[in-house]
Amino acid sequence: MEVLQPTAISKMVQSKYDLSLFTCTYDGTTRFTVRCRLLQIK
């Protein structure tokens, strides 16, 4: 999980994660980010 500034666009779109979910914080000043990786079970 990360908290990103609204101007951190490159951090939002360029990552090594398979899935990134973004939403604004309650006051709208930052973005709360959850990042996930796909795991393969053998």
pLDDT of 5 > 90? The answer is no
Whole-number Å distance between alpha carbons of 28 and 42: 42
pLDDT value of position 19 = 92
8 Å CB contact between 16 and 36: no
Whole-number Å distance between alpha carbons of 38 and 28: 29
Report yes or no on 31 lying in a domain.
Answer: yes
Tokens 């500034």 sit on residue: 5
User: How many structural domains comprise the chain?
Assistant: 1
Report yes or no on 26 lying in a domain.
Answer: yes
pLDDT value of position 1 = 81
Q: Enter the pTM of the model.
A: 0.64
Instruction: Specify the 3-state DSSP secondary structure of 19.
Output: strand
CA-to-CA dists, residue 19 to 8, 12, 23, 31, 38, angstroms: 17, 11, 14, 16, 8
Q: What is the rounded average pLDDT of the residues 8-33?
A: 88
Question: 21 lies in which domain range?
Answer: 2-36
Residue 11: pLDDT band (50, 70, 90) is confident
